[in-house]
């Protein structure tokens, strides 16, 4: 095998693609048309609006230590007004955690006339119990507030104080009374969000909750201390923007994936030409090259074509007004790397079996079919192969569904999570890895099949 040989094959297919009259309609116009159609039909239908999500909370917050609670009773400081505001809230006795739960419970969709609650909250003391509710979809999402939630919140305040005034809050207080103890600094504690990542309600609730947590951090750090006093007035200042979703928005990642999936079917046309019974070009290949070289060559041209296509689709959907809630760069990266990689596997499947026009056409449609099955457009039925084995960032393992065998499923899901729900790279890493490993696995299998069917068996 040599790279030059493979590149020779890539070059040839590249020329064929450029010269084929199918290229532009098939690779570019049709997918864009499809996205446009969706946009036209569905961009105005919001979903998840005014929906109340079932939120389970496990509040493990241990509150503030007695020592700190006592500090806020300090007569001197109350006397000069420094701690007045703080003293008057429930935060002191109940802790930041339960205050946060209150806030969540009171949040309403106030952008509409009716002001329905965003969350219906049930508190649990037992994680197992909450998890089993999640599994039965009696809960959409579960939030776990850690033991140190209050201390960590105070630590954030403390840090902000120092950033603004050059002193930690306790250092400031200690100028009045040297006996005042230190307040927490830099406590890192994780707030855990759990749910079934394949469940639409979870996905939406998760992104709302993510926004709220971000706002909470902003809020705690946006403490101002005019005249040296602390204000903690979460209820009033809590302005959370609720992300909106339209069917178009929800479908866009799938549509992009779909557009890219179309490409293997085009390539399968070229393959069918090569494998037509009366066509002998493949004899030349068999006489001169090896299966590995051939596949490498086709792969090398496949990838740039798909990347170009992903770019066009992604950009055109942005231009049509698709607003990703998440990190566009990360979404681009996924769309441009792992998606083409996993989609190209379809093409090899096609390559192995297509030897007549009819078969090729059927397999050409097989690509879009797999696209559907990967959940690109629709929520696929839950056919479980293995229970709870896919790790997720939330720590709540996901079931391995039959569709999870398709690498594209994971790519589409990663793309959707990044584009719609603002997941980070770490959060979608399991999906990306799965997609990669599955694609690679399929690639190796198809290589074997290809060598067998096309190089070995055809000489029978």
Partner 1 sequence: MKKIIEVKALKKVFGKGERQVNAVKGISFDIYEGEIFGFLGPNGAGKTTSLRMIVGLLRPDSGEVKILGENPHKSGNKLKEILGIIPQNPTFYEDLTVEENLWFLAKIYNIPKMIAKERINSLISRIGLEEKKKAITKDLSGGQKRRLNLILALVHDPKIILCDEPTPGLDPQSRIVVWEFIRNLPKQGKTVILTTHYMEEADRLSNRVAIIDNGEILVLDTPENLKTSIGEGDLVEIEVSHLGDTEIESLPGYLLALDPPLHLEEVSTSQSVCTIRALDVVPKLTRILASIENQGFSVNNLSIRGTTLEDVFINLTGRRLRS
Q: 216 to 245, contacts with partner 1 by CB under 8 A?
A: none
Q: Does 5 bind partner 1 (CB under 8 A)?
A: yes
Shortest distance (Å) from residue 280 CB to partner 1: 4
Nearest Cα to 202, choosing from 133, 140, 117, 132? 140
Piece of 8-16, 85-93, 302-310, 391-399 that binds partner 1 (CB under 8 A): 8-16
Beta-carbon count within 10 A of 190 CB: 12
Query: Cβ closer to partner 1: 15 or 233?
Result: 15
User: Between 185 and 273, whose beta carbon lies closer to partner 1?
Assistant: 273
Instruction: Tell which one of 285, 307, 380, 451 touches partner 1 (CB under 8 A).
Output: 285
Backbone phi, psi, residue 121, to 5°: -100, 135
Q: Which is nearer to partner 1, 106 or 288 (CB)?
A: 288
Provide the minimum distance between the beta carbon of 344 and partner 1 in the complex, in angstroms, as a whole number.
21
Q: Give min distance, CB of 4 to partner 1, in A.
A: 6
* CA–CA gap between residue 398 and residue 414 (Å, rounded): 14
Span near partner 1 by CB under 8 A; candidates 1-9, 113-121, 179-187, 335-343: 1-9
**Applying CB under 8 A, does 114 fall inside the site for partner 1?**
no
- HSE-up (13 A, CA, CB side) for residue 249: 22
Contacts (Cβ under 8 Å, ≥6 apart) of 220: 153, 156, 157, 160
The beta strands (E) that lie in 35-109 are given as 46-47, 53-59
**Minimal distance, residue 287 CB to partner 1, in Å:** 6
Question: Would you say 57 or 269 has its CB closer to partner 1?
Answer: 269
Stretch that binds partner 1, among 109-117, 274-282, 400-408, 412-420 (CB under 8 A): 274-282
User: Is residue 189 a contact partner of residue 148, using CB atoms and an 8 Å limit?
Assistant: yes
| For partner 1, the closer CB: 283 or 356 | 283
Q: Which long-range contacts (CB under 8 A, 24 or more apart) does 435-438 make?
A: 435/338, 435/341, 435/342, 435/407, 435/408, 435/409, 435/410, 435/411, 436/338, 436/341, 436/342, 436/407, 438/342, 438/405, 438/406, 438/407, 438/410
Q: Which stretch binds partner 1 (CB under 8 A): 244-252, 280-288, 379-387, 441-449?
A: 280-288
Interface segment toward partner 1; rule CB under 8 A; list 128-136, 208-216, 283-291, 414-422: 283-291
290 contacts partner 1 (rule: CB under 8 A): yes
Is residue 459 within the footprint of partner 1 (CB under 8 A)? yes
Which position among 73, 93, 164, 288 is part of the footprint of partner 1 (CB under 8 A)?
288
What is the total count of residues that contact partner 1 (CB under 8 A)?
Answer: 27
Contacts of 292 (CB under 8 A, 6+ apart): 1, 447, 451
The CA distance from 217 to 215, in Å, is: 5
Residue in the structure block whose two tokens are 């060598």: 451
Which of 26-34, 134-142, 284-292, 394-402 is the region at the interface with partner 1 (rule: CB under 8 A)?
Answer: 284-292
Q: Does 8 bind partner 1 (CB under 8 A)?
A: yes
Closest distance of CB 274 from partner 1, Å: 9
Residue 268 within binding range of partner 1, rule CB under 8 A: no
Least distance in Å: CB of 307 to partner 1? 23
122 phi/psi in degrees, rounded to 5: -125, 135
For the bound state, the minimum distance from the C-beta of residue 318 to partner 1, rounded and expressed in Å, comes to: 34
Which residues lie below 8 Å from residue 111, measured CB to CB, with a gap of 6+? 242
Q: Which of 188, 129, 127, 155 is nearest to 394 (CA)?
A: 127
- Tell whether residue 9 is a contact of partner 1 (CB under 8 A): yes
CB of 306 to partner 1, least distance (A): 21
Beta bridge partners of 384: 401
Would you count residue 43 as binding partner 1 (CB under 8 A)? no
Which CB contacts under 8 angstroms, 24+ apart, belong to 105-108? 106/235, 107/212, 107/238, 107/240
**Which of 150, 246, 252, 293 lies at the binding interface for partner 1 (CB under 8 A)?**
293
Q: Which one among 237, 283, 356, 379 touches partner 1, defined by CB under 8 A?
A: 283
Q: Which of residues 12-31 bind partner 1 (CB under 8 A)?
A: 12, 15-16, 19-20
Nearest Cα to 419, choosing from 257, 307, 303?
257
Q: Residue 318: which region, alpha, beta or left (left: phi > 0; alpha: psi -120 to 50)?
A: alpha
* Element holding 388 (H helix, E strand): strand 384-390
Q: Which residue has the tokens 């990838």?
A: 303
Q: Least CB distance from residue 283 to partner 1, whole Å? A: 6
* Buried b / exposed e along 371-395 (16+ C-beta atoms within 10 A): bebbbbbeebeeeeeeeeebebbbe
> Which residues contact partner 1 (rule: CB under 8 A)?
2, 4-5, 7-9, 11-12, 15-16, 19-20, 278-281, 283-290, 293, 459-460
């Amino acid at each position: 095998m040599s790279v030059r040989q493979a590149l020779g094959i890539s070059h040839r297919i590249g020329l064929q693609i450029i010269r084929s009259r199918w290229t532009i309609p098939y690779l570019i116009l049709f997918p864009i048309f499809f996205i446009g159609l969706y946009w036209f039909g569905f961009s105005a239908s919001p979903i998840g609006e005014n929906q109340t999500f079932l939120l389970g909370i496990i509040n493990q917050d241990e509150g503030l230590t007695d020592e700190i609670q006592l500090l806020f009773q300090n007569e001197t400081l109350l006397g000069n007004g420094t701690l007045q505001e703080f003293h008057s809230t429930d935060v002191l006795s109940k802790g930041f955690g339960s205050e946060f739960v209150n806030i969540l419970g009171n949040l309403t969709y106030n952008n509409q006339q009716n002001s329905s609650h965003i969350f219906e909250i049930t508190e649990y003391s037992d994680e197992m119990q909450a998890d089993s509710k999640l599994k039965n979809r009696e809960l959409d999402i579960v939030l776990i507030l850690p033991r140190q939630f209050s201390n960590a919140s105070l630590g954030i305040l403390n840090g902000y104080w120092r950033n603004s005034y050059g002193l930690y809050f306790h250092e400031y207080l200690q100028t009045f009374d040297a006996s005042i103890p230190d307040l927490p600094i830099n406590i890192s504690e994780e707030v855990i969000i759990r749910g079934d990542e394949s469940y639409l309600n979870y996905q939406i609730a998760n992104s709302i909750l993510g926004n709220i947590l971000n706002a909470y951090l902003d809020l705690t750090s946006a403490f101002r201390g005019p005249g040296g006093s602390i204000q903690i007035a979460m209820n009033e200042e809590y302005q959370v923007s609720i992300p909106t979703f339209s069917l178009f928005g929800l479908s866009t990642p799938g549509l992009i994936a779909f557009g890219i999936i179309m490409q293997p079917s085009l390539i399968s046309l070229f393959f069918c030409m090569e494998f037509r019974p009366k066509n002998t070009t493949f004899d030349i290949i068999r006489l001169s090259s090896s299966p590995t070289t051939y596949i490498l060559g086709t792969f090398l041209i496949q990838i740039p074509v798909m990347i170009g296509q992903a770019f066009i689709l992604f950009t055109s959907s942005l231009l049509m007004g698709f607003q990703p809630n998440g990190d566009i760069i990360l979404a681009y990266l996924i769309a441009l790397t792992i998606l083409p990689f996993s989609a190209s596997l379809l093409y090899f499947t096609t390559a192995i079996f297509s030897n007549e026009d009819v078969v090729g056409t059927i397999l050409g449609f097989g690509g879009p079919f797999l696209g559907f099955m990967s959940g690109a457009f629709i929520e696929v039925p839950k056919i479980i192969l293995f229970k709870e084995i896919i790790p997720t960032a939330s720590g709540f393992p996901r079931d391995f569904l039959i569709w999870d065998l398709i690498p594209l499923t994971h790519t589409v899901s990663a793309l959707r999570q990044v584009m719609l729900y603002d997941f980070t790279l770490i959060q979608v890493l399991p999906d990306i890895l799965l997609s990669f490993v599955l694609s690679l696995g399929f690639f190796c299998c198809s290589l074997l099949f290809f060598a067998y069917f096309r190089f070995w068996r055809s000489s029978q």
